[in-house]
Structure 1
Amino acid sequence: MFTGIVQGVARVATINDRPGLRTFTLAFPAGFCAGLEIGASVACDGVCLTVTHLVDADHAEFDVMQQSLALTTLAGLAVGSCLNVERAARDGAEIGGHPLSGHVDFTAVLAGIRRPENNHVMRIQVPERWMRYIFAKGYIAINGASLTVAEADRKAGWFEVWLIPETLRATTFAEKGEGATLNIEIERQTQVFVDTVRDALDERLGPLLPALEKLLASQGASLDALSEPPKSIQA
């Protein structure tokens, strides 16, 4: 498990491709690898990877299988690319963000950037099927960083997050331009709540569900709005 609080920025030192497998050597900030062992988990841009070899005090290797490359942004990395990194949380660790599994759900596109004074606003375009889990004031993980959704437009398929200067300093987000692809992990408690409500509606209404969806649409609403989790379990 991870907390979503990025602990540093790592750099891709080498890439070695073999049939069905890609090996990355990452260069970490000084002290990041202290006590790190083979088999330990590190979130790399939000993807949980396992240490396969400790090269030296500041370098470690990770193997990434084809499925992970296909589902995340890791396939697009090159030597010199930078990633947000976080080591696995220890028992009793403070959860400064929200619990993350390190299992990326989908990739999304950075559709726009605004820069109000002392702020940095990212608008992120999301595949339609995933917007049902994203709500204003709820949690979202972007490239391994726990962030709070500021605004969400379910019809247009986007959400926005606001980043303070410290977040930009401690992560790779300042380097991301419009069109960049990002790893997204939705908040699991929200996913469970939304899926449970939708399953209950489907079970109880059955054939009437399409009619309900049509009625809600005529009123400018939707099943996704009905399944919005209560504020008590949002950020």
Structure 2
Amino acid sequence: MFTGIITDIGRIAEAHRRPGADTVFVVDSRYDLASLSMGASIAHQGVCLTLIGFEAIEGGSRWRVQVSEETCRLTTARDWEVGTLLNLERALKMGDELGGHLVSGHVDGLGTVVSVHEEHESHRVVIDVPTHLAKYVAPKGSICVDGVSLTVNEVDDTCFGINIIPHTWTVTTLGRLKPGVHVNLEADQVARYVERILSRAG
């Protein structure tokens, strides 16, 4: 479980893709090696992945994660390559501050950035979502975009708008968004449960 509060930006150092097999990525980060453990879960661009090996490097740590064909097909992992920057978040521990909202790290689908423009000191971003996810997006509700917990400002059919403050724009990969780019989306879990309850009640 995660909160959508990014604690580092990692960089893919190696990408090993083989036809008909899982992909292995090697990721560099500034995380202290002592804070990592074999089998630990770390969210990469909102995708929960398991560490299968790690080592110390100058200024931080390097680890390996194995990504299934399905995950590559359904998330932006299909486009990751050497040099790709990734929002990172370690799994939530009991007693940690819940600064964003509860995030599982299971991506529901890919959104497409429609527009990006400056609005005062912040940036307003409009994202188009798959039809099956649109029902979970509500004004002032939460949504996870590339691993970042954000508040939905407005909704228009299958599009929603978010306002990204300068801090978030700078310390996450969201500052690289532009029209046409795909982003990983995870709907608010509360919205999912409410929809499930209402559908069964009806």
Q: What is the TM-score when the length of structure 2 is the normalising length? A: 0.94
Give the counterpart letter for 2:56 in structure 1: D
User: How much has 1:200 moved relative to structure 2?
Assistant: 2.1
CA distance in 2, matches of 1:168, 1:34: 29
Which residue number in structure 2 is paired with residue 215 of structure 1?
Answer: none
In structure 2, the CA distance between the partners of 1:172 and 1:193, relative to structure 1 (3 Å rule), is same
* Bigger share in strand: 2
Residue 147 of structure 1 pairs with residue 150 of structure 2: yes
Which residue number in structure 2 is paired with residue 117 of structure 1?
Answer: 120
Structure index of larger Rg: 1
User: How much has 1:32 moved relative to structure 2?
Assistant: 4.4
Give the counterpart letter for 1:4 in structure 2: G
For 1:74-105, what per-residue CA distance to the aligned partner results, in whole angstroms no more than 9, with x for missing partners? Answer: 01011001010000111111100001110000
Give the counterpart letter for 1:193 in structure 2: V
CA distance in 1, matches of 2:46, 2:52: 18
- Partner SS, residue 134 of structure 1: coil
User: How much has 1:193 moved relative to structure 2?
Assistant: 0.4
CA distance in 1, matches of 2:165, 2:155: 19
Contact 1:55/1:61 (CA < 8 Å) preserved in 2? no
Which residue number in structure 2 is paired with residue 171 of structure 1?
Answer: 172
User: How much has 1:178 moved relative to structure 2?
Assistant: 0.7
Residue 90 of structure 1 pairs with residue 93 of structure 2: yes
> RMSD of the TM alignment (CA)?
1.1
**What is the percent sequence identity of the aligned residues?**
33
CA distance in 1, matches of 2:116, 2:188: 23
CA distance in 1, matches of 2:130, 2:108: 11
Residue 79 of structure 1 pairs with residue 82 of structure 2: yes
- Partner SS, residue 85 of structure 1: strand
In structure 2, the CA distance between the partners of 1:33 and 1:44, relative to structure 1 (3 Å rule), is farther
Q: What is the TM-score when the length of structure 1 is the normalising length? A: 0.82
Structure 1, 52-61 or 95-104: larger mean CA deviation: 52-61
Which residue number in structure 1 is paired with residue 184 of structure 2?
Answer: 183
Give the counterpart letter for 2:44 in structure 1: C
Aligned length: 198
CA distance in 2, matches of 1:152, 1:72: 23
Contact 2:33/2:55 (CA < 8 Å) preserved in 1? no
- Partner SS, residue 50 of structure 1: strand
- Partner SS, residue 14 of structure 1: strand
Residue 52 of structure 1 pairs with residue 55 of structure 2: no
CA distance in 1, matches of 2:67, 2:165: 32
Contact 2:116/2:177 (CA < 8 Å) preserved in 1? no
For 1:127-138, list aligned pairs within 5 A: 127-138=130-141
- Partner SS, residue 94 of structure 2: coil
Which residue number in structure 1 is paired with residue 2 of structure 2?
Answer: 2
CA distance in 2, matches of 1:177, 1:74: 18
CA distance in 1, matches of 2:176, 2:65: 24
Which residue number in structure 2 is paired with residue 36 of structure 1?
Answer: 36
CA distance in 1, matches of 2:7, 2:93: 14
CA distance in 2, matches of 1:195, 1:113: 33
- Partner SS, residue 4 of structure 1: coil
- Partner SS, residue 73 of structure 2: helix
Give the counterpart letter for 1:37 in structure 2: S
